[in-house]
Each structure stands twice: as C-alpha cells, then as structure tokens.
Amino acid sequence: MTRTMIRTMMRMMMRMMGVAGFCVCVSTVALAATDTMPATPEKKPVAKPAVVKKPAGVDYCKGILLPNLTVMRAQFFAAAGKDSELTAKELSAANAKAPFQPIDSWGNLSKFDKSKNGQIDWFEFRAFREDVRKKLIKQFDVSKNVRLEDGERTKANALLAAGKLPGVEKKSSGWFGRGESDEDRAKREAERERRRAEFMKTHDTDGDGKLSAAEREVMRDKMRDKWRKDLVTKYDTDQDGVISPEERAKAEEAGGEKVRWGFWMQDVETKCFDDDGDGVISKTERATAKAFGKKMASLGEEMKALSHDADGDGKVSSEEARTARIESAQMMMRMMSNAQTFADYDGDGTASMAEMRQFQLSISGGIRLWMDSEINRYDTNGDGKISAKERTSMATEIRKEWLARVKKYDANSDGRTEPKEWEPLLYDLGREMKILPQERK
C-alpha cells in the first residue's frame, strides 16, 4: 500500500467535499468546544466588555507573536458556543471564567466583523490576531530581527496589557490583506514568489511552468527518500544504516506523532508491496505500489463526483465544487462544536488542554489501528503480507464497501451523498474506529 493509497483511504470521505482530509476533520473535533458546557449565568448584555485586568508581568507578546493555535482555537470555540461565532455577550461571559487577552476587547474585535452581523467567527478572530502581530513587529522591532526583545518587548507588553492596538498602518484592500500595509503585502508577495520560483526550479524539470503528474511523483519520491535519510542520520545511533526497534522507539518518543506516522506508513508499504520479502521496496515494487495507489485515487474521484455532482450530469462544475466546499465548511463547524463532549474524559463539563491532547492522540492511534485491521482483512492466507491476488481483491472490495457505505447515508435517496449526509457517516465511522463514544451525544 503506497502513501498515495493510505492518504486516499483516509481522505476520500472528506476529499469529495473539498476538505483537506478525514483525519483533519476528526482531529479538529478535539480542538473546539461544545454546547454542552455548563451554562454561564445570565448577565445584562454589554456592547463593549471592559478590558480584562491581568497580573503584572504577564508576557502578552508570547501569545501574539508565537501563538499556540490549538490553545487559541479551543478558547475561541469554548467561548463562541454552539453557533461557533463570538458575540459581545459571550466574550464578556468567557472573560469571567477564562479571560482572553486584554487586546481582545469587543471594540477591537468588532473592527474585523467582515460580515457585519455583530458576531466574530474563527477566521475573523485569526485575522485580528495576525493583524496585531504584524503591527507589533512594525511598531516595536527596532533591531529589525523580526523578534521583540528586552526593551522592545517591555513596551509592547505595556501596550497589550492596556488593551490598546499597535499603531495603525495603511491598509490594503481585500480580505486576506486586511490590516496589512501595502509595503508589508509587497514583501510578503515577493517572498512567496521567491519560494515558488525556488520550488519550481527544483521540481519543474521540463521548465514548462507547471508540475506534471510525473514531476509530482518524482517530487514525492525525493521527499520520502530525504525523510528516510534524515531519520537514519538522526536516530541510527550505532550507525549500521538500519533503525533498530530500540532506535525506533527512541525516535518515536522524540519525534512524536509525525515520526510514528512515518514509520507506520513505511511498515504498511512493506507489508503490501514487498513481494520478494527482502525488506526493501524495489523500483519494480514501487511501480506496482504507485499503480495500486492510482486505483484508490480514482475511487476517491468517483466518490467525489457522488457528493459534488448536484445536477447529475456526471461532471463537477466549478460552481458545484464551490457549493460543496461551503457546505463542508458548515458541516465541520457543527462537528467542531461537539469536541468538548468527546474530550471531556473526567466529566466536569469542560475539556482541559491535557484532555484535548489525549483525545488527539487517541484519534491518531485509533486511525492507525483501524487501518491495520482493514488491511489485515485482506491477508486471507495469514502470512502477514498482501499478495498480488489479495491486492486485486482489496481494491475491488474496498470500492464495493465504500459505495455501499455512502449509499446507506443517502437519506433522500437522490443518488448523491451531500455534505450534510456525510456528517452522520463520519460520526459513525469514528465510532467504528473506536475513537468516538458509541452513543451520540
């Protein structure tokens, strides 16, 4: 099983809805809050909550310049409630329990209410914080090292503690440039273009200005080989060219989930395509693996059409794809609102950061265990390998099973599994993987 196949199996549910992947969807559930939190005592609405006073000596810059997005996201959705949009009243209530930064006053946040609906969604909140970060650097980074140190940081913290915004720069037009000066935007775009040019110079071997399928394959192979080489260089302590079980354990402990996933995918690839059993994927075996991965990718495209093709003409128009992306985003927001229910292991009504981290790890490990069990189902002779015959059966059966699965959730029987119909499918799949509670809350 190639990385393409593994990614396809994990992503094809959400890929057809224009979202990054199933893993992202399920993991995101762990990072948000739910409407099952204890209700906050009713207070009189306030248009602009007072600035929250915090102890002296707090390094507010750290949360702005080097934000922990997991923490920031969790705090936002915990305050925003079921609809995932923050109001002035909800901000005031949240500040009474788990205060935001003083800079996050409603008067400041409301300037980023792009939709003008009196509420702030996650993307608007992120845009606000990013705007503050850029302005802090612009105003206080005297040494021009893109960091705030010593006196620079002291002055910046004083400003943030007072809930005051850094100096206002001339804004560029457009949502993604909100709060950004024309000069900063030009620098950002120049840097992005430089990186793109460097990337294309490395991977666009025929110089036609775009990456062909073949060039992308070569690029992925190079990235995979570099990862393996770096891994051996870093963790092969006895320098025998092989990562032993002991070295692997140390590597996984040091590298965390990213390294665990890398090793796991390598194990699966060997199990499914090392036909000669020498422990190495040869050029021929890799070609076989890529061909099999393409079969799985085609299944993803087939199921994408089932979800996106609203008019049933067999094609997915740009408008249909756009509609599906919007519907998918709405679905994910609903799923995110249930996160704290699943991550609240001690049952106190709220999920701590430790509990959410534990939930994320259980999701990651649960997906690997489920994928292993799915692969093992096709090892019919029990030899620990997936033969060519078993691979053929696997491709055929996976297609049948997933088509049957999406048909089961086609609630209106219109032949199309819409994003809203995928929501119960994903929840039930999470239960099947044993990473979500068996009873829906």
Q: Is the dihedral of CA 436, 437, 438, 441 positive or negative?
A: negative
- The answer to whether residues 15 and 65 belong to one domain is no
Cα separation, 421 vs 233, whole angstroms: 47
Cα separation, 131 vs 122, whole angstroms: 14
- The answer to whether residues 287 and 386 belong to one domain is yes
Residue 376's pLDDT is what?
A: 92
The whole-number average pLDDT for the span 335-339 is 70
- Indicate the range of 108-112, 321-325, 333-337 predicted with least confidence: 333-337
Q: Report DSSP state, residue 47.
A: S
Does any domain span residue 105? yes
Other Cβ atoms within 10 Å of 230 Cβ, number: 10
State the chain's mean pLDDT as an integer.
78
Work out the pLDDT band at 246, boundaries 50, 70, 90. very high
The whole-number average pLDDT for the span 433-438 is 78
Residue 339's pLDDT is what?
A: 67
- The answer to whether residues 16 and 130 belong to one domain is no
Residue 266's pLDDT is what?
A: 87
Q: Output the CA torsion 65→71→73→79 (10° steps).
A: -120
The whole-number average pLDDT for the span 250-263 is 88
Residue 4's pLDDT is what?
A: 43
Does any domain span residue 327? yes
The whole-number average pLDDT for the span 426-436 is 85
Find all residues with CB under 8 Å of 185, minimum gap 6, and list them: 172, 177
- The answer to whether residues 7 and 71 belong to one domain is no
117: which 2 tokens? 């609906």
Q: Which residue has the tokens 């913290």?
A: 157
Residue 105's pLDDT is what?
A: 92
What's the total number of domains in the chain? 2
- Digit-coded pLDDT (tens) for 294-334: 888 888 888 888 888 888 787 888 888 888 888 877 777 77
- The answer to whether residues 24 and 132 belong to one domain is no
Whole-number Cα distances in Å, 386 to 255, 369, 374, 392, 401? 29, 17, 12, 10, 19
- Is the model's pLDDT at 37 over the cut of 60? no
- Is the model's pLDDT at 172 over the cut of 60? no
Does any domain span residue 239? no
The whole-number average pLDDT for the span 401-424 is 84
The whole-number average pLDDT for the span 99-128 is 90
- Is the model's pLDDT at 377 over the cut of 50? yes
* Domain-ending residue, one of 137, 162, 187: 162
- The answer to whether residues 284 and 390 belong to one domain is yes
* Domain-ending residue, one of 162, 184, 206: 162
Cα separation, 249 vs 169, whole angstroms: 50
**385/438: higher pLDDT:** 385
- The answer to whether residues 18 and 90 belong to one domain is no
Cα separation, 30 vs 338, whole angstroms: 8
- Is the model's pLDDT at 133 over the cut of 50? yes
Q: 302 burial class (0-12, 13-18, 19+ CB within 10 angstroms)?
A: middle
- Is the model's pLDDT at 251 over the cut of 80? yes
Residues 88, 69, 6: CA angle, nearest 5 degrees: 130
Does any domain span residue 369? yes
- The answer to whether residues 10 and 79 belong to one domain is no
Residues 215, 267, 243: CA angle, nearest 5 degrees: 95
The whole-number average pLDDT for the span 238-255 is 89
Does any domain span residue 196? no
pTM for the structure as a whole:
0.55
- The answer to whether residues 9 and 129 belong to one domain is no
Longest alpha-carbon distance in the chain:
73
Cα separation, 296 vs 395, whole angstroms: 7
Residue 39's pLDDT is what?
A: 33
Does any domain span residue 283? yes
Residue 142's pLDDT is what?
A: 86
Please answer whether residues 436 and 342 qualify as being in contact, where contact means their C-beta atoms are separated by less than 8 angstroms.
yes
Work out the pLDDT band at 181, boundaries 50, 70, 90. low
The CATH number for 113's domain is 1.10.238.10
- Digit-coded pLDDT (tens) for 267-300: 999 999 999 988 888 989 988 988 888 888 888 8
Instruction: Tell me which residue of 395, 430, 391, 425 sits closest to 306, measured CA to CA.
Output: 425
- The answer to whether residues 64 and 25 belong to one domain is no
Does any domain span residue 441? no
Cα separation, 320 vs 428, whole angstroms: 26
Residue 330's pLDDT is what?
A: 78
Find all residues with CB under 8 Å of 164, minimum gap 6, and list them: 103
**146/424: higher pLDDT:** 424
- Is the model's pLDDT at 343 over the cut of 90? no
Cα separation, 89 vs 79, whole angstroms: 10
112: which 2 tokens? 């980023």
Instruction: Tell me which residue of 110, 127, 24 sits closest to 72, measured CA to CA.
Output: 127
Phi first, then psi: what are they for 434, rounded to 5°? 65, 35
**50/162: higher pLDDT:** 162
Whole-number Cα distances in Å, 315 to 21, 80, 306, 350, 413? 22, 38, 10, 45, 19
Cα separation, 377 vs 382, whole angstroms: 9
Other Cβ atoms within 10 Å of 199 Cβ, number: 12
Cα separation, 246 vs 90, whole angstroms: 50
For residue 117, what are the domain limits?
60-162
Does any domain span residue 172? no
* Domain-ending residue, one of 144, 162, 180: 162
- The answer to whether residues 157 and 264 belong to one domain is no
Work out the pLDDT band at 180, boundaries 50, 70, 90. low
- The answer to whether residues 367 and 270 belong to one domain is yes
